[in-house]
Amino acid sequence: MDELIQKIQSIGFNQYESKAYVTLVKIGTSTAYQVSKESGIPRARVYDVLKSLSAQGVVIQEEINDSVYYSPLPVDVFLSSIQSEWETKFSSIHESLKMLEAIQPVPDNRVASIQGQESILAFCETLLKKAKRKVIVSLWSEMYEMLEPLLKEAAHRCKMKGIVFQVINPITGLDLHRQTSFVEQIGHKKWFILSVDGSEMLYGPSVEQRDNAFYTDDPVHIYLLENYVWHDILVNRLVKEKELEKWISAERNEFFN
């Protein structure tokens, strides 16, 4: 119950208003005294709270036999009105912000840090929905699974290219990296790269391991990392064709050790 009240507070109602509405939904048409008793709202405050909810149309007030009773707005109607109000506000805010954005000077190419798993995944979603021509990725299985529905959606309207690790049946256009000792022993060093239309990119550690990433629209960053993905694909295809795994492993060890 407490969690539900907190969620209702998050959409614009204060604590007592949230408690009063939830209580009325639970017990039905009631007097202010009954609402106070059931919800814990002080009797000195409950009348003002119910009056406020009545003014907002969330509670219906009526007199029956010289007593005042309060009923909750039906839940579906309540939620529909909240959704409609939120969508109206969202549309207005979106329009106003886009107008402000349009008059701002175009910033220099940059690299910005993005913190938090939810923010990173939301940023990935935004980029994938913006994609018009091509998407290039390098993804390990956990993050691939998180983004798979969005990747499939983007693949319907633009080219999908890249390489994935430890993924079963990747979508068309993505190469599956061969299973090697390097892949098996990677541990907590997994990464992701998501590039859209050659103009924007998000990259960093896979979000299940660390919740920080980097956004860039810098053409040099994008060029280097897209080429890194391509070289990974190229080597993967050549090795499968020419069976060069032992030679590559030895060369890698020589380079990094």
Radius of gyration for the chain, computed over Cα atoms and rounded to the nearest angstrom: 28
Q: What's the pLDDT tens digit per position in 183-216? A: 888 888 899 999 999 999 999 999 888 888 999 9
- Alpha-carbon gap, residue 224 to 112, rounded angstroms: 17
- Alpha-carbon gap, residue 158 to 179, rounded angstroms: 28
* Segments in the chain forming alpha helices (H): 2-9, 15-27, 32-39, 43-55, 75-103, 117-130, 141-155, 181-184, 219-242, 245-256
Sorted by where each begins, the domain ranges of the chain are 2-73, 111-256
Who contacts 26 (Cβ-Cβ below 8 Å, separation ≥6)?
A: 38
| Structure confidence at residue 242 (pLDDT) | 60
CATH number for 2-73 (one of 3.40.50.2300, 3.10.520.10, 2.60.40.10, 1.10.10.10): it is 1.10.10.10
Looking at residue 60, the DSSP 8-state letter turns out to be: E
Look at residue 101 and tell me whether its pLDDT is greater than 80.
no
In this prediction, residues 42-66 reach a mean pLDDT of 89
Burial class (CB in 10 A: 0-12, 13-18, 19+), 90: exposed
- Alpha-carbon gap, residue 178 to 257, rounded angstroms: 23
Q: What's the pLDDT tens digit per position in 20-33? A: 999 999 999 999 99
Look at residue 81 and tell me whether its pLDDT is greater than 90.
no
What CATH fold (topology level) applies to the domain 111-256?
A: Endonuclease; Chain A (3.30.870)
Q: What's the pLDDT tens digit per position in 145-157? A: 999 999 999 999 9
- Alpha-carbon gap, residue 11 to 85, rounded angstroms: 10
Look at residue 252 and tell me whether its pLDDT is greater than 90.
no
| Structure confidence at residue 12 (pLDDT) | 86
What percentage of the chain has pLDDT greater than the value 70? Answer: 96
Global pTM?
A: 0.61
